[in-house]
Amino acid sequence: MYFHVLTLFPEMIMDGLNTSILGRAMEKGCIRAEAVNIRDYTLDKHQKVDDYTYGGGAGMLMQAQPVYDCVRAVLNRIEQEKKSRVIYVTPQGRVFNQQMAKELAGEDDLIFLCGHYEGIDERVLEEVVTDYVSIGDYVLTGGELPAMVMIDAIARLVPGVLNNDESAMTDSFGNGLLEYPQYSRPRVWRDKEVPPVLLNGNHKLIEQWRLEKSLERTKERRPDLYEKWRAENDCCK
C-alpha cells in the first residue's frame, strides 16, 4: 500500500507518519508514504496557491491550477490499469469508519488531497476527486490531521504492519463491538482484583466472558452499535 498525501504542509505529514508503528512498517516496507507539496506545482511567479473567493466572503481558497497539476502528476506516476482513488478530506464528506478503513486497505495506492484556508476551488474537485471523506462532525484547520487519522486506521489493517495479526481482529469494531476490558500485572492494584475468570486458563470461559463484557460495554457506551450487532447476529442477548 502506497499513501500519497497532497498538501501544503508536507513536513507535518512525514513527521507524523514516520513515528512509532507506522514508521516501523515503512522501514519494513509493508507500507510506503509520500507527501507531495502542492505549492511545487503552482505556475504563479510568487509561488501563490490561493486567492479570494468569487462572490465575497471571508478567507482564501486554494486555486484549481496547482491542485490539478499536482494530482495529475501523482496519477501519471502511479496509474497502471486500475484507477486510483483520490480522497478529498473534508467535513462535507461521508463519515469515516472501520468498514471504510477495511475497504480502503485493499487498494494499492491511495491519494489524499488536503485542503486549507476556506477549501479548494469546486471545479478541480469535480475533475479529480473520487471520494469525499470526513473524520467527524467538527471542523479542523486543514486536512492533514484527518488524512493522518485515516492513514493510521487503514495502514494497521495492511498485513505485516501490526506484529500480532490477531490484534486487529479483536480490536473494538473488529467484530462490530467495542473491545472487552483488559488487565495486566499486578493481580491486585489499589484493592482492585483482576477478574478471576482470566486467571484460570480456561480459554472457552475466557472467550465467553469477553464476549459478555464486549456486549455490556457496547450496550452502555454505544447503544447504536449494540442494536446493529444484535440485528446482524439475529440474537436476543
Residue where the block lists cell 516496507:
29
* 119 lies in the site for ligand ADE, by CB under 6 A: no
C-alpha cell at 71: 494530482
What sign does the dihedral 64-65-71-75 (CA atoms) show? positive
Instruction: Give the residue from 13, 137, 5 showing the smallest Cα distance to 71.
Output: 5
Place of cell 499536482: 70
Q: Is position 139 an interface residue for ligand ADE (rule: CB under 6 A)?
A: yes
Convert residues 168-207 into a mask of x (bound to ligand ADE by CB under 6 A) and - (unbound).
----------------------------------------
Residue of minimal Cβ distance to ligand ADE: 146
Which of residues 140, 194, 211, 225 is near ligand ADE by CB under 6 A?
140
Q: Is the peptide bond before 159 cis (omega within 30 degrees of 0)?
A: no
Identify which range of 66-74, 136-144, 179-187, 203-211 contacts ligand ADE by CB under 6 A.
Answer: 136-144
CA distance 135 to 147: 9
Question: What cell numbers appear for 89 in the block?
Answer: 478530506
3-class SS of residue 158: coil
Does 156 qualify as catalytic in the annotation?
yes
* 25 neighbors 161 (Cβ within 8 angstroms): yes
Using the contact rule CB under 6 A, the part of the chain among 36-44, 58-66, 120-128, 135-143 near ligand ADE is 135-143
91 catalytic, yes or no?
Answer: yes
> Taking CB under 6 A as the criterion, which residues in 33-92 touch ligand ADE?
89-91
110 binding ligand ADE? (CB under 6 A): no
Task: Name the active-site residue from 118, 131, 152, 179.
Answer: 118
Catalytic residue among 171, 179, 216, 222: 171
Residues labelled as active-site residues: 91, 118, 156, 171
